[in-house]
Amino acid sequence: MRRRTVLPLLAAGLSSGLSSGLSGCGTQAGKMVADTAERTSALFKPAEKRRYANPVIEGGQGDPTVCRVGEDFFLVASSFEYFPALTVHHSRDLVHWRALDHALNREGQVPLKDAVSGEGVIAPSLRWHGGRFWLLATSRGGGGTFLMSAKQAMGPWSDPQWIEGLDPGAVPSLFIDGQGKAWLVHEGSGGVFLAEFELESARLRAATQRVWPGHNGLAPQLPVLVEREGWIYLFCTEGRLWDQGLTVARSRSAAGPYEPCFDNPIASHRNAALEPLQMLGRGEPVQAANGTWWLLLSGTRPVGRATPLGREVLLAPMRWDEGGWPVVNDHQPVAEELGVEQLPPAREWPVAPRREDFKGPGLPPEWQFLRGLAPGLWDLAERPGWLRLKGSATSLADVGTPAFVCRRLSSFQQHASTLLDFAPLRQGQQAGLALRRDEAHHALLRLTGSGTAPRRVELMVRVKGQERIVAAAPLIGAAAFGAVRLRLDAYAERYDFSYAGEGADWRLLGSVPFNALAGDDSPAGLRIGLYASGPGAMPPADFDWFELES
């Protein structure tokens, strides 16, 4: 993962020019002028700028929601079909973020078993009110919209309270005004809709009403309300994918009427195709303790027309113009590297270890499963120091919960490897490394075979629902019976898959072009993980360690 050190920019002060011009003066008057120049320079020296890199949170975490409590920022993003869900991130400077835990981390809290890829838990909305965190989110593919609360961001979080009475397909956000009144705002047929809301009971107080048709007839999505100096600002995503952008309207009342910003969209790269960051959308502003304003928003880093890393979290400076309208990055594109003034003081967190040895009682928060916690399909205690997967007939091609545990691919150049001990008994039983986009697109570097046939390593790729074996090789020598190392080398243009026996050199088995797996609308991005599946009574697949490095 990229190191996000915030670096100062060189700023030339007034003193440098004056001191060089007076360097030949030896008189007292010259010294007095120089001293005056030094004091003037200290008073009027341009604010120091610091640089940071976008995205600030990488890999398959779009639609961010953010709130500040004191000097601490907390952020949650969409989790889609992966579980545990709704990772709670913490930062002190808006640039360096650490994962605390998941708000949804208990089996059965949300019904994800029928959620296809891209559905699941989306568009969270995090607020701080009355000494508690309130978290609203929607489960597409089953369940609807729910509300949770916690006294601390790390939890424990309450079980979801399901909200009744919302329009089908509504994906609301939560707004709490200065008087403590709560509202839900969501898109619908014909615009943006609003309803007063009771926090404690998670019930609508009244029917929803339309408050805004959208800007220039575009269908608004993922609306967010923000209050500032007597105005209620409505931020919306309008357009789709490459044409989308962030628009804003405002009113003196949450119920409207709203007037549009003359400068809409306030953030969009629809006319900036050469910018590395694209598909700007779902943004929430937040004010730092020093009074400055910042925008956290979704974006992608496409390769051609594909987005292998999914939606990611971007940070942009924001200010308010004389008319009281938001201005994002002084009307400039949201770049991969920005130099800004008045960021909160830098606070870095310890870097997560690149190697997981499976020696703890559980998995770190970076690890996720598909659609549930996969009870009975994995274990850390039966063979201490190893992750044991117990494969079932459910595979990555199914809408279900296979024996698959994964992490986000967060960089164009990453390397993942593992050591696998697995002895298949029947044809079709398999275990290995998986690179997954969705049910119809994934690549498997797998050990397979049967009790009577020698083990072999295969590279299978599934594209548009069609499977084919790209390459295969028998395991010989020590690798024929012992543990085998498996490796993925991810690059911007391709994915290389290699294997080796313990202590042996790596052998490249085959490669898969990036665009075979990545699409132009892959919000969750690619995941790299460990898996096992097959018919009959599966022997265990034991993984000694897993490494992921950039």
Q: What pLDDT does 217 receive?
A: 65
Could you give the angle at the alpha carbon of 89 between the alpha carbons of 160 and 49, nearest 5°? Answer: 145
Nearest of 222, 129, 144 to residue 182 by alpha carbon: 129
Beta bridge partners of 113: none
User: How far from each other are the two terminal CA atoms of the chain, in whole angstroms?
Assistant: 5
Contact 547, 354 (CB under 8 A): yes
Rounded Cα distance between 89 and 349, Å, is 12
The dihedral through the CA atoms of 484, 490, 491, 497 has a sign that is positive
pLDDT for res 168: 80
CATH classification for the domain delimited by 49-341, as one of 2.115.10.20, 3.40.50.300, 3.90.650.10, 2.30.110.10: 2.115.10.20
Instruction: Parse the chain into domains and list their residue ranges.
Output: 11-44, 49-341, 355-549
pLDDT tens string, the chain, 550 residues long: the values are 454 444 443 333 323 332 333 233 333 333 433 443 443 343 334 456 889 999 999 999 999 999 999 999 999 999 999 999 999 999 999 999 999 999 999 999 999 999 999 999 999 999 999 999 999 999 998 889 999 999 999 999 999 999 999 988 899 999 999 999 999 999 998 899 999 999 999 999 998 999 999 987 678 999 999 999 999 999 999 998 899 999 999 999 999 999 999 999 999 999 999 999 999 999 999 999 999 999 999 999 999 999 999 999 999 999 999 999 999 999 999 999 999 988 999 999 998 889 999 999 999 999 999 999 999 999 999 999 999 999 999 999 999 999 999 999 999 999 999 999 999 999 999 999 999 999 999 999 999 998 788 899 999 999 999 999 999 999 998 888 899 999 999 999 999 999 999 889 999 999 999 999 998 888 999 999 999 999 988 999 999 999 999 8
Helix (H, G, I), strand (E, B) or coil at 8: strand
Q: How many CA atoms, within 13 angstroms, populate the side-chain half-sphere of residue 316?
A: 29
Tokens (6 digits) for 237: 């995503």
Q: b/e per residue, 337-349, with b = 16+ CB within 10 A?
A: ebebeebbebbee
Nearest CA-CA partner of 137 in 153, 151, 148: 148
pLDDT value, residue 30: 39
H/E element, 29 = helix 28-44
CB 293 within 8 A of CB 287: yes
Which one-letter amino acid corresponds to residue 219? A
Strands 293-300 and 312-320: antiparallel
Which candidate, 271, 257, 266, 275, places its Cα nearest to that of 238? 266
**Amino acid type, 167:** D
Q: Is 37 helix (H, G, I), strand (E, B) or coil?
A: helix
Q: What are the contacts of 243-247 at 24+ separation with CB within 8 A?
A: 243/270, 244/268, 244/270, 244/279, 244/280, 244/281, 245/269, 245/270, 245/280, 245/281, 246/280, 246/281, 246/282, 246/283, 246/297, 246/328, 247/214, 247/215, 247/218, 247/220
Which ranges of 255-301 does DSSP label H, i.e. alpha helix?
A: none
- Euclidean distance between CA atoms 494 and 489, whole angstroms: 9
Q: Which helix (H) or strand (E) holds 32?
A: helix 28-44
Residues 156, 291: Cα–Cα separation, whole Å = 31
Give the chain's length: 550
Closest CA to 264 of 296, 238, 294, 293: 238
Q: State the pLDDT at residue 28.
A: 37
The alpha-carbon radius of gyration of the chain (Å, integer) is 26
CB atoms within 10 A of CB 474: 12
Q: What is the largest CA-CA distance in the chain?
A: 99
- Where b means 16+ CB within 10 Å and e means fewer, 275-296 reads eebbbbbbbbbbebeeebbbbb
Q: Are 310 and 57 in contact (CB under 8 A)?
A: no
Encoding tokens for residue 511? Answer: 């490669």
Amino acid 6: pLDDT: 47
541 to 38, 378, 473, 532, 535: CA distances (angstroms): 70, 9, 20, 7, 14
E strand map for 28-153: 49-53, 65-69, 72-76, 82-83, 85-91, 98-104, 120-129, 132-140, 144-150
In the chain, % helix, strand, coil (3-state, to 5) comes to 5, 45, 45
Instruction: Give the domain 355-549 fold.
Output: Jelly Rolls (2.60.120)
